Structure 1
Amino acid sequence: MPHASSSSNMGKSPNDPRYPNGWHMNDRMPHHDSFQQLWETKWKDPCSKGIYPFMFGSIEDFQPIAEHIIAKGLKEPYDWDEYASCFFGTAEQLGQKAAIAQQEGDTDKARDYYLRASAVYRIARFPIPRSPLQNLAWQKGKHMFYQGASLMEYPIHQVLIPHTHALPSSSSSEEQHEGSSIPVNLLIPPAASPASPCPLVLIMTGLDGYRTELAVWQRGWLDKGVGTLVVEIPGTGDSPALASDPEGADRQWSSVLDWVSLHEPRVDTHKIVVWGFSTGGYYALRAAHTHHNRILGCVSLGGGCHHMFDKEGWLDKVDGLEYPFDLTGALAWKFGYRDVDGECGAESVGASASAGNVETFKREAQSKFSLLLDGTLAKADMDGRCSRMLLVNGEWDRIFPIEDLTLALKFGARPKEARIVSESWHMGEPESFVVILRWIHELLGLDGDWMHQLRLLAGKAK
């Protein structure tokens, strides 16, 4: 993730002894003052480069939208329907241009317009579809993405994996319901076959980056002869897992891995590597323990495990820091602390996370989701149950504390590998990508040309 620029003295003044690598936790970063500051200090540069969170996007689409929002004077706390409404006109125009180009037989132009429309809808629903109009943007954005992705040189299509490990409906209350299918992006190299199966990189998405945008990684892996499966984590996108249940993720991964093993003979099930991005890194670290016998290796990029849920030392302080919007509100929503018709606890798309729910999340999250307190990390000490593991993050991460990386290293009969990117923000991009790609290349015996994959990230999706 690109972030606001840092100065040389940042990272030198911790104000909480529990977080010696933390710094200035009582600061307020300028992008929280107004959308104008968000655009000018944090978003305009990555938008011009077509990188997170503007994958497939174009600055010429977003600059007029930004100017309109700035003129309206929008700032925190946002009315999310009002915010989302500012993007629809541009997105609809791009979709219309795409349809015309497709009718005229100009596939490349149609593809690019569809994907540009999907990017505009993405920022409309960003970071999470917690209002009715943001939910509509998510639905429309998916449609635009798959229209465009179907026109790529190697089309990306949605696959619905049966959620065979879902909680039985007979034993589930309305609040404990899990969906019946897991939508994923699956892309397999043309040369793969049952006689010559390919490795698979299973990408676990993050808090706000869903399968429609992390698809940017799929073509690069295909060029290396590696398949990709992009799947959303519980509480985000279209994941059917029960977000409020820590074991909901375990059930989802079991369903995905079972399906790959039983129904995708072109994949070598002995060469499955998991890569979790940001909040997905938390789930990758958990999966390295719960599914250690089915995974060759796991990468946790920017993920936490325990301190990320610390109320007083972390969650009470992060809303004015690195994340572009209200981090605790987004996390509360993602972990199932939502309102529906004024009632707490239900998990439906488009529901809000009230202030009361956010405070409840802060109080309960660590005891409920910590991989230290639930014994997940200790399992690797008792019986060695952990796959090969790489943990990577930026030294100055103020979304999830770097102390979670060092904590995870203290457990396990099998040593974990790690890299802290010096004087870098959440996830340590772009240097972290080089570290991770090199690690996966070595693990799978690939050609080592990871720069080819990085060059594809901000390019047109062919």
Structure 2
Amino acid sequence: MKPTLAETWTGKWDKAAQRDVYPFNFVPYEDAKRVMEEVIPQFDADRESFTRGFATAATPYEAAGDAAAASGDGAAARDAYLKAYGLYRMARFPCMNTDGKKQAYRHSQRCALKAWGYADIPPVRVEMPFAGRAGEGNAVVAYFRAPKTGKAPVLIAWAGIDTFKEDSLLRTQKFLDAGMALLLIDMPGTGDSPVLGSVDAERQWDAVFDWIEAQPGLDASRVGGWGGSFGGYWATKVAHTHAKRFRAVISQGGGAHLVFTGAEIERSQSNGLPWGQSESRANAFGLKTHEEWKAFAPGLSLLDLGVLDRPCTSLLCVNGVRDPITPIADYHLVLEHGSPKEARFVANGGHMGRPLDGSPDPTESIMLDWMSRKLGVA
């Protein structure tokens, strides 16, 4: 049974909003609390009230950012734009399955790029040509950031069902600081990805590698990948399907086989969000309902597809032992098949390895150090 919005707020979101952490990064707590108190009584009858509430709260911050930018106050502009981005991001959360959420996503994109335009190395939007099939897009859209000196190794980063490339600008900053160029993309079926999720949607990574190889300032022999949450599924997959093109890959919080079975689908549904974990996952694959997802999901198993027994590049699996969304047993299965791999499991960690007690997240430094060594920037 899916949790209610009230249960989600009191059970975990209120604390997350107070701490300025996922999914409330950059969202002022007073705004989060006010919007949630207004939306909770009407949410069951009007799901779009959530989107409208957060989008309405975002509007004055973007206006304040524009005014500050016009007056030359870059610091104030960036701060206001980040707040607008955070609120618009919540408005489109968890996925773009309504017109209102699609519109909110475009607003969040605009505000994110306005804010990060004040960074020392602003992100550049690039479109990498993609030879898609009928009905698919013709480009993989990415945000590109590169160190100012030297031929840099590259980290391709993507996230999951509810976290898009704009949201990766913050979490990848330390990798840029360490000397890696960044290409931030959306996993299949989310954001600006040219393809829906499918049994062969890893095709979109071909376009990314082709683009990297055409850039004289990038070292195509040192390319890493990092996928989080459902993006961890794609990370594990491309570590095998693109083993010769990746130097190393991090799969964080991703599933492989068990996560697609009936029992685990039901477990994650009860531990997910009011919108439904299954419904959000289904949306990335062009589906809608819990029942449709249960019928479709088993076909994604990396074990049944034979992927796990193929040669694999260096792969680090990271997650929490107590993950309520993705069973840690899936990573045990990954380790038991094919090429030897590495793993780091957080004993008191939940999804993605984030400590359930609110203590500092150890996974960030673990992953940064590991990837730095693999790409030769340590």
Among candidates 163, 177, 187, match of residue 209 of structure 1: 163
- Which residue among 217, 221, 243 is the counterpart of 1:266? 217
Match of 2:97 in 1: 130
Q: Residue 336 of structure 1: which of 270, 286, 289 is its match? A: 286
SS at match of 2:166: coil
Q: Which residue of 2 aligns with 1:364?
A: 296
Q: Which deviations, in whole Å up to 9, do the C-alpha atoms of 1:382-411 show, x marking residues without a partner?
A: xxx210111111111111111110111111
What displacement does 1:276 show? 0.6
Q: What does the per-residue CA deviation read over 1:192-216, in whole Å, with 9 as the maximum and x for residues that have no partner?
A: 3xxxx11111112111010111110
Matches of 1:98 and 1:232, distance apart in 2: 26
Cα contact 2:223–2:246 (8 A) shared by 1: yes
Query: What residue in structure 1 maps to residue 115 of structure 2?
Result: 148
Question: Deviation at 1:60?
Answer: 3.5
Shift of 1:446: 3.5
Q: How far 1:110 moved relative to its partner?
A: 0.8
1:439 and 2:344 aligned: no
Q: Are 1:233 and 2:159 an aligned pair?
A: no
Question: 1:310 — aligned with what?
Answer: 261
TM-score normalized by the length of structure 1 = 0.77
Give 1:152 shift: 2.0
Q: Does 1:83 align with 2:50?
A: yes
- Alignment coverage as a number of residue pairs: 372
Match of 1:260, SS? helix
Q: Residue 164 of structure 2 contacts residue 190 of structure 2 at CA under 8 Å; is this kept in 1?
A: yes
Q: CA separation in 1, counterparts of 2:45 and 2:323?
A: 24
- What's the offset of the Cα at 1:55? 2.4
Structure 2 letter corresponding to 1:67: E
The alignment's TM-score, normalised by the length of structure 2, stands at 0.93
* 4+ residue runs over 6 A deviation: none
Which residue number in structure 2 is paired with residue 106 of structure 1? 73
CA contact (8 A) 1:80 1:131 kept: no
What is the Cα deviation at residue 41 of structure 1?
Answer: 2.3
Q: Could you say which residue in structure 2 is the equivalent of 1:55?
A: 25
Matching of residue 92 in structure 1 with residue 23 in structure 2: no
2:110 corresponds to 1:159: no
**Aligned equivalents of 1:185, 1:237: Cα separation in 2:** 12
- Determine if the alignment matches structure 1 residue 45 to structure 2 residue 15: yes
Structure 1 residue 324 displacement after superposition = 6.1
Per the TM alignment, residue 323 of structure 1 is displaced from its structure 2 partner at its CA by 4.5
Decide whether the 8 Å contact of 1:81 with 1:132 is kept in 2: no
- Measure how far apart 1:156 and its partner are: 1.5
SS of 1:293's partner is: coil
- CA deviation after TM superposition for structure 1 residue 439, in Å: 1.4
1:397–1:426 CA contact under 8 A, matched in 2: yes
Q: Which has the larger radius of gyration?
A: 1
Out of 417, 427, 432, the residue aligned to residue 342 of structure 2 is 417
Would you say the 8 A contact 1:187–1:218 is kept in 2?
no
Partner of 2:204 in structure 1?
252
Cα displacement (A) at 1:321? 1.2
**Residue 6 of structure 2 corresponds to residue 36 of structure 1:** yes
Contact persistence 1:150–1:157 (CA under 8 A): no
Q: Measure the CA separation in 2 of the matches of 1:122 and 1:211.
A: 12
CA contact (8 A) 2:239 2:314 kept: yes
Find the residue that maps to 1:121 and give its secondary structure: helix
Letter in 1 for 2:199: P
Give the superposed CA RMSD: 1.7
Q: CA deviation at 1:112?
A: 1.4
1:118 to 68, 85, 90: 85
Q: Does 1:68 align with 2:26?
A: no
Q: 2:330 aligns with which of 398, 404, 422?
A: 404
1:156-193 CA distance string (max 9 Å, x none):
22211111x322xxxx3xxxx1101111111001113x
8 Å Cα contact 2:26-2:86 kept in structure 1: yes
Q: What residue ranges of structure 2 are gaps of 5+ in the alignment? A: 355-360
Indicate if the aligned counterparts of 2:8 and 2:273 stay in contact, CA closer than 8 A. Answer: no
**In 1, are the aligned partners of 2:353 and 2:363 still within 8 Å (CA)?**
yes
* CA deviation after TM superposition for structure 1 residue 130, in Å: 0.9
How many Å apart are 1:322 and its aligned residue?
Answer: 4.3
Contact 1:80 1:134 in 2 (8 A): no
Residue equivalent to 2:357: none
Q: How does 1:385-400 map to 2 (within 5 A)?
A: 385-400=311-326
The aligned residue for residue 276 of structure 1 is: 227
Question: Which one-letter code corresponds to 1:186 in the other structure?
Answer: F
How is 1:165-184 mapped onto 2 (pairs within 5 angstroms)? Answer: 165-167=131-133, 172=134, 177-184=135-142
Which residue, out of 348, 351, 363, partners 1:426?
Answer: 351
After superposition, what is the alpha-carbon deviation per residue over 1:242-265, rounded to whole angstroms, capped at 9, x for unaligned? 32x32122x100001111111x22
